[in-house]
A and B are shown apart, each in its own frame.
Chain A
Amino acid sequence: MPTTLRIALLAGLLALLSNLAVIGFIYLRTHDEAVVTVHQQVVEQGKVLADVYRSGGKAALDDAIQDTMTYADPQTAIAVIGPRGQQVIGNLETEPSLALPLQEGYHNTLIRLHGQTTPREAALVVHRLPTGQWLVSGRLAGEGFAIRETLERSLLIALVVAGLLGLVCGLILAHYVGRRVHDIATVADRISGRDLSQRVRLSGAGDAFDRLGRQINAMLDRITGLMEELRLLTDSLAHDLRSPVSRLRSAAHAAAEASDPREQEELLGSVIRQADALMRILTAVLEISRSEALTGRKQFSWFDVGELAAELTEMYDPLADERGAVLEYDRPPRAVPLFGHRQLLAQAVSNLVENAIRYGSAGGEIRVRVEPGERQIRVEVGDRGPGIPAERRDEARRRFGRLDSSRSDEGAGLGLALAEAIAHLHQGELVLEDNAPGLLTVLQLPVQSKQVRAA
């Protein structure tokens, strides 16, 4: 599992780097502190000796040096050096290779004390005495350095441990992440292998992986739904086209066979009518897909829905009359402006009206209403026909969802599906309600905000 390993190494590396930063900080701070402490001690000591010389003269200084050499801790370095570099008094080993920096001030340099074999680093303060001699005092840095070395060792160990711990944590983390991702990947794999029923198992922790899993599951549900819809559509399209195509075929066949020219002409007319009906079905199917794909958007404009409904009611009034129904229109009290596709909405409303005339004429009255609201505009078409029971309304809305398929009617069963697609194009819905009695079909179209209107 190279991914897991990569994650583990990355985690280890990150742990190492962050620990390095922390440890480096500690190291620098403690180091500085040690140096500062030594510096302070040395300067203090130098100042004290200089004061002794000022108040008591050379004799007092010699005494003080003598005392220091006798009683002070073995880290202390002290001496008076002659102008030519020779030691007058003190505990330093002077040798040419370890030339003292004979200048006023504070110095870090290598020195060797009496009884020591190797030179060691020391912090020194050098004063020039009025006699031309140099007063040198200071401390070996050994003590501070010893602490520092211990510290350095511990820090190094800490660093190694941190790195190892990081690696272990990384491995654990990588394993966990890997397992969760692996679960999802397995599902994706199976889906690629055509098994759409697979779903990602959720841990219930509600974490990012669960969210991802949920989204993938939702996506799969949608795909399955679409596939199902597509399958239904193809099935029903094939089914619905089969009978008109076979009718067309037999009409054409009969026309070819007919000997009487008048009979032939009649049969050819029927061929054309059948072909037209087929074209209508195909156009409607295409129109539905296009509306759903939102292709019509650029042709949106402002228009009065009330006016449109009035026009369509007027247009269908004679047809309803012929079928024994009365088509009524309740005109809204004011204009109902809507930003939409006028032609497509005209088609949607006309589909609803045609539907009501076709199936609800027996009930006598068909009522069209436009109801303007704060949030949405309702365009209602209600008939007093047999209606559709609540449990079958979804079916009626589906493409080719003609409920009574035995009826050899002119409707291809696409009307409501197309009206719904057009409603969706306008971010709206097609709702089927009970008109008690009868069917009430409603286009619910959201009202656009003022901003959109201004744009």
Chain B
Amino acid sequence: MGRKILLIEDDRETASYLTKGLNQEGHSVEQATNGQDGLFRATDGSFDLIVLDRMLPVLDGLSVLKALRAARIDTPVLILSALASVGDRIEGLECGSDDYLVKPFSFAELLARVNALLRRRESRVDPAEHRLTVGDLEIDPLSRSVKRSGKKLDLKPREYLLLEYFARNEGRVVTRTMLLEQVWDYHFDPGTNVIDVHVSRLRRKLDEGFEKPLLHTVRGAGYMLAA
């Protein structure tokens, strides 16, 4: 299921590396090398996702983003930036971007986020109305109850949120930073393995006593929930 992605990035090396990687995933990529050109192409509105570098010649990334949102183009935007501080990240998100990735990043991290954003666009129906199922795992977002093979799992509120986020990204890699941002809404880099501890606790409740594990560790990238 290839998607159309607009990549606005002035660094040719990064651009060709990303294009190659995204093409391998089956997406078609159109490139723009400055903000003005990027904005022009983006206003077409036919893209499924825009990957936008923050520092661009002619027109900077945040201005492009603001112009897009002002023109009521709601294509999801993932910002790439070398500006890593919490303030910069928040500023990017407040300008209307859907996600923010700090350079340098691993391609796995980028891909995980790209897929999460594309997925979000796919399911525009109110997610709370649907039951989520992953293999023999059943999640009811309304009552926040979780069953595996019919057996009720007793999760703490945060563990539930963590699991629901995994389930909504079933079969896709979810990185530690994505978890911190999406489940806790914090945008700093913790200096400890605090996220891993939470995931391993969840895993214990989720997979212990079952033959087939659902929550997998993806080396060098993060985690994935898959049957």
Contact A410 B85 (CB under 8 A): no
A281-319 at interface with B (beta carbon < 8 Å) = 282-284, 286-287, 290, 295-296, 299, 311, 314-316, 318-319
**B104 adjacent to chain A (CB < 8 Å):** yes
Given contacts A299-B91, A315-B198, A343-B90, could you give 8 more A-B pairs where the C-beta distance is less than 8 Å? A283-B84, A299-B94, A316-B194, A318-B194, A318-B197, A319-B197, A358-B192, A412-B191
Number of A-B contacts (CB under 8 A): 78
Cα distance, A287 to B83, chains bound together (Å): 10
Q: Which of A269, A280, A343 contacts B86 (CB under 8 A)?
A: A343
Cα distance, A295 to B85, chains bound together (Å): 10
A-side contacts of B84, CB under 8 Å: 279, 282-283, 286-287
Cα distance, A311 to B198, chains bound together (Å): 14
A-side contacts of B85, CB under 8 Å: 283, 286-287, 290, 296
A-side contacts of B106, CB under 8 Å: 272
Q: Take A354-B190, A411-B191 as given contacts and tell me if A269 and B220 are in contact as well, using a CB distance cutoff of 8 Å.
A: yes
Cα distance, A343 to B93, chains bound together (Å): 13
**B201 adjacent to chain A (CB < 8 Å):** yes
Contact B86 A287 (CB under 8 A): yes
B188 to chain A, nearest CB (A): 4
Cα distance, A299 to B86, chains bound together (Å): 10
Can you identify 20 A-B contacts, CB atoms within 8 angstroms? A272-B220, A275-B104, A279-B104, A283-B84, A283-B102, A287-B85, A287-B86, A295-B87, A299-B90, A311-B184, A315-B198, A319-B192, A319-B194, A341-B86, A343-B89, A343-B186, A347-B188, A351-B191, A411-B191, A412-B191
A-side contacts of B220, CB under 8 Å: 269, 272
Which B-chain residue is minimally distant from A278 (CB atoms)? B104
Contact A319 B189 (CB under 8 A): no
Q: Take A319-B193, A357-B192 as given contacts and tell me if A296 and B87 are in contact as well, using a CB distance cutoff of 8 Å.
A: yes
A383 to chain B, nearest CB (A): 15
Most buried by B among A279, A358, A411: A279
**A350 adjacent to chain B (CB < 8 Å):** yes
> Interface digits, B82-114 against A, CB 8 Å rule (1 contact, 0 not)?
001111011100100000001010100000000
B-side contacts of A351, CB under 8 Å: 191
Q: Which of B86, B94, B184, B190 contacts A344 (CB under 8 A)?
A: B86
**B130 adjacent to chain A (CB < 8 Å):** no
Contact B188 A314 (CB under 8 A): no
**B124 adjacent to chain A (CB < 8 Å):** no
Contact A410 B191 (CB under 8 A): yes
Cα distance, A433 to B118, chains bound together (Å): 50
Which A-chain residue is minimally distant from B85 (CB atoms)? A287
**A322 adjacent to chain B (CB < 8 Å):** yes
Cα distance, A357 to B190, chains bound together (Å): 13
Cα distance, A319 to B84, chains bound together (Å): 25
**B158 adjacent to chain A (CB < 8 Å):** yes
**A415 adjacent to chain B (CB < 8 Å):** yes
Contact A346 B190 (CB under 8 A): no
Contact A347 B86 (CB under 8 A): yes
B-side contacts of A272, CB under 8 Å: 106, 220
Cα distance, A119 to B126, chains bound together (Å): 121
Contact A341 B87 (CB under 8 A): yes
Contact B87 A322 (CB under 8 A): no
B165-206 at interface with A (beta carbon < 8 Å) = 184, 186-194, 197-198, 201
Contact A318 B191 (CB under 8 A): no
- A residues apposed to B, CB below 8 Å: 269, 272, 275, 279-280, 282-284, 286-287, 290, 295-296, 299, 311, 314-316, 318-319, 322, 341, 343-344, 346-347, 350-351, 354, 357-358, 410-412, 415
Which B-chain residue is minimally distant from A318 (CB atoms)? B197
Contact B192 A280 (CB under 8 A): no
A-side contacts of B102, CB under 8 Å: 279, 283
Q: Which of A279, A284, A299, A319 contacts B87 (CB under 8 A)?
A: A299
**B219 adjacent to chain A (CB < 8 Å):** yes
Cα distance, A318 to B184, chains bound together (Å): 15
Contact A283 B186 (CB under 8 A): no
Which B-chain residue is minimally distant from A269 (CB atoms)? B220
Report the 10 A-B pairs with minimum CB-CB distance, sorted nearest first.
A296-B87, A347-B188, A283-B84, A287-B85, A318-B197, A343-B86, A319-B194, A319-B197, A290-B85, A354-B192
Cα distance, A319 to B193, chains bound together (Å): 8
A399 to chain B, nearest CB (A): 14
Cα distance, A253 to B119, chains bound together (Å): 39
> Interface digits, B208-227 against A, CB 8 Å rule (1 contact, 0 not)?
00000000000110000000
Contact B189 A283 (CB under 8 A): yes
Q: Which of A269, A275, A290, A350 contacts B190 (CB under 8 A)?
A: A350
B-side contacts of A314, CB under 8 Å: 158
Q: Which of B94, B184, B186, B219 contacts A269 (CB under 8 A)?
A: B219
B120 to chain A, nearest CB (A): 22
Which B-chain residue is minimally distant from A275 (CB atoms)? B104
Q: Which of B158, B187, B188, B197 contacts A322 (CB under 8 A)?
A: B197
Which A-chain residue is minimally distant from B201 (CB atoms)? A318
Which B-chain residue is minimally distant from A266 (CB atoms)? B219
Which A-chain residue is minimally distant from B86 (CB atoms)? A343
Q: Which of A286, A343, A358, A411 contacts B188 (CB under 8 A)?
A: A343
B-side contacts of A311, CB under 8 Å: 184
Q: Take A299-B90, A314-B158 as given contacts and tell me if A410 and B197 are in contact as well, using a CB distance cutoff of 8 Å.
A: no
Cα distance, A152 to B194, chains bound together (Å): 98
A-side contacts of B192, CB under 8 Å: 319, 354, 357-358, 410
Cα distance, A319 to B94, chains bound together (Å): 31
A350 to chain B, nearest CB (A): 6
Cα distance, A316 to B198, chains bound together (Å): 9
Cα distance, A147 to B193, chains bound together (Å): 105
Which A-chain residue is minimally distant from B94 (CB atoms)? A299
Which B-chain residue is minimally distant from A346 (CB atoms)? B186
Cα distance, A410 to B84, chains bound together (Å): 20
A270 to chain B, nearest CB (A): 10
A-side contacts of B193, CB under 8 Å: 319
Cα distance, A344 to B90, chains bound together (Å): 10
Cα distance, A410 to B196, chains bound together (Å): 15
Cα distance, A272 to B188, chains bound together (Å): 19
B50-106 at interface with A (beta carbon < 8 Å) = 84-87, 89-91, 94, 102, 104, 106
